[in-house]
Chains A and B, each alone.
Chain A
Amino acid sequence: EAGVAQSPRYKIIEKRQSVAFWCNPISGHATLYWYQQILGQGPKLLIQFQNNGVVDDSQLPKDRFSAERLKGVDSTLKIQPAKLEDSAVYLCASSLGNSYYGYTFGSGTRLTVV
């Protein structure tokens, strides 16, 4: 089966600019996650969707980050305006249901804010 697709693979922007990341999960996977991974750390959950509804966005910095999952399939994550500390890899993952079914991750988008 096709994996989780993410684009772009790399992005360099200046601080205060905006950026968007796209994720296409595995077909049929109801649950979609966005994680942020800062260099040297494990991935940190930003937001979790179940179909097109938000399950958990408690760690999403809502003053600058937003995410949507239209029609319960593709998802976009946006940062506006970006800060230097947003430099990280943004990982998208999908699952049939909860963690018992296992998560499949994409390769991520590496964001550098200068």
Chain B
Amino acid sequence: DAKTTQPNSMESNEEEPVHLPCNHSTISGTDYIHWYRQLPSQGPEYVIHGLTSNVNNRMASLAIAEDRKSSTLILHRATLRDAAVYYCILSWNSGNTPLVFGKGTRLSVIA
């Protein structure tokens, strides 16, 4: 599996936007970029995924660099409930390869 690099931790103030970076310089043309997050004492939950174009949903936005070697998860207005570990994962969606989780980024939100 292609690897991703994320900062260990980040901090944000409540009600401000948060940009969570992910580097994936060895991404292949068929790899999708997935983001999951894990709230305390919960299993991971799906946030968003994309291939080449930027994606938006009710939870977040995903900005993908033109060369696809990096991406950014954007939380438009952080709340205390967004404090979690965020995982950036690459996966070839046409196959049956399971998601491989790294250590992710621990996001703290300050009131």
Chain A interface residues (CB < 8 Å from chain B): 4, 31, 33, 35, 40-45, 48, 50, 55-56, 91, 93, 98-100, 102-108
Contact = CB atoms under 8 A, between A and B. Distances in A.
B32 A100 contact: yes
A99 B99 contact: yes
Interface size class of B (residues with CB under 8 A): 20 to 34
A103 B44 contact: yes
A100 B93 contact: yes
A5 to B, nearest CB: 11
Contacts of A44: 101
A102 B49 contact: yes
B79 to A, nearest CB: 21
B28 to A, nearest CB: 14
A99 B44 contact: no
13 contacts: A31-B96, A43-B101, A45-B99, A45-B100, A50-B96, A56-B98, A91-B44, A93-B43, A98-B97, A99-B32, A105-B45, A106-B43, A108-B43
A4 B44 CA distance: 12
Tell which of B41, B45, B93, B96 has the most Cβ of chain A within 10 Å. Answer: B96
B95 interface: yes
Given A45-B99, A55-B96, 20 more contacts: A4-B43, A35-B101, A42-B87, A43-B101, A44-B101, A48-B98, A93-B44, A98-B91, A98-B93, A98-B94, A98-B95, A98-B96, A99-B32, A99-B93, A99-B97, A100-B49, A102-B46, A103-B36, A105-B45, A108-B42
Contacts, number: 62
Contact of A43 (B44, B91, B94, B97): B44
Contacts of A108: 42-43
B24 interface: no
A3 B46 CA distance: 13
Q: Which 9 A-B pairs have the closest CB atoms?
A: A105-B43, A42-B101, A100-B93, A102-B46, A99-B91, A43-B101, A91-B43, A45-B98, A48-B98
Interface in B59-97: 85, 87, 91, 93-97
